[in-house]
Structure 1
Amino acid sequence: MKEISPLQRAVEYIENHLNENIGLGDVSRETGYSYYHMTRLFSSVLGESVGRYINRRRLYNASEKLIHSDQRIIDIAFGCGFESPEAFSRAFKAVFGSSPVDYRRTGLDLVVNARRELTPEDVNHIANNISRSPEFVILKETKVAGLRGTTSLSDNRLPGLWEKFMRHHKDLIMAAGAGYGICETQRTTYTKDGDVLFSAMVGSPVQDFENLPPSLSLDQKILRAGRYAVFTHRGTFANLFKTYQYIFGTWLQSAKVELDDREDFEVYEREVLSFDDPNNEVKIYIPVK
């Protein structure tokens, strides 16, 4: 039997249980991944959360039933996994721009914004099929002092957080010789519209927290020791998401390693002059067992 990737297994599970009351927890248990890593997998490769993908697929099925069947709208709503006709109507209008009643009245199958089912071929195509091997390292526990904020799939707020840190605490990076960007594992939350909010921290490694001036009011973080797969991204940061697509969508599918439940993080050892500088370089540390 051909082995399938965790992402393909997740998509297959969703499609087989689409009309049931499933969520991120069910998908995580099916794949053996934590909430955090399943979220990272979907957001990096597909650009959306598990919940938003499930919602879009349910709406796609519902739109077809509105046009090609005579089922009552209330029955379509419940049959497609929505808790109430009102919740179905709100979600449907947000995606299609019209109510289920109006959509059925037009008689046109305008499935434009709701995605169809993803096939294994789709997943492989999205992942780009890039071939690159990471370096594996063992890191000691690392203390990081910096600023904490949030970012999301739809609104990348990290450049602003970095700008604030560099404006007030550039001396820390100069002393350490590196800046750290950390996506925090246990602080991921999900909005009502299906977006994902990631807690993030930017800062620099320090010898200890005790000698930091109290006036700096810096957040503190300890990165746990362990094994990491290290990838290097070069060039404009506009393409950074493509590197994450490769890591979670291609490399992870074929690598004989298992993700560990620690934070992944980025290390900037070169000064970043601009977002699109072709000489940019960042190392991405992925926790593995």
Structure 2
Amino acid sequence: MNGETAWALYENRLRRVSAYIHDHLDEELDMEKLAEIACMSSYHWHRIYRAIYGETLAATVKRLRRHRAAGDIVGTDLRVSEIAKRSGYPNLQSFNRIFKSVYGMPPARYRKEGSHAAFAPSPNGRIQAMFDITLRKIAPITLVGVAHTGSYMQIGRSFETLFGTLYARGLAQPEMRMIGVYLDDPDIVPADELRSIACVTADDIAVSEPPLQQTSVEGGEYAVLRHKGPYADMHKAYQWLYAEWLPKSGRQLRDSVMFEEYLNNPREVPPTELLTEIYMPLA
């Protein structure tokens, strides 16, 4: 078996394990079971996974469950006890403790006072939050990505596939920028039909094999909002951009897609420290 064939086997195994994790977050995910799906011994597989993704399998599962829980707290009326059970915690106290250690406050308080609360309308219907908007002119950006269909909160699944594939093919580069391209309006299109692409910048990568695809974002002028905080809170920032900033700016939208650039890594910083720049295309 040559090196290229061996890496192709790792690529397929990474994809299988990542898909299984995302499809079975509600279940008890046994680490030995995941090694079986990868068709490797637990001893070796866990080391390969950590070398590629920079975290253990167990850490990935816990991070994804916390991310989904934050989305449920912000975006649904589910009771916190239900969310805790769905996230695999044995009791509400354990969930409260872990959630507070990561998000800075317990889940019930986060539902009322998390960073998304800054975008809540006042009694007169106006949103009180104010953000600095930077106007930037950028050149076109060449991207390579993996398509995602479904809730934007779950685009991380395609980012997992993207980075696993890039590493397995020897294409990953430290200077790559992480970018998410969003093709539909989540207030209009059903969540399971939303289309997006998990991307990295790739000026010198020739893409010939799926699941990778070549794409790009247009150059031109953009209004850029820098958001600090969990990804679960960002939908409100979009609403503020459209409802508050755009009418007051006197600017017109350009018929092009919005995109996000992720300035740090959710594996390396807590959700409260995540930095994202939202790009709105202007005519």
TM-score normalised by the chain length of structure 1: 0.48
TM-score normalised by the chain length of structure 2: 0.49
Question: Which of these two proteins has the greater Rg computed from alpha carbons?
Answer: 1
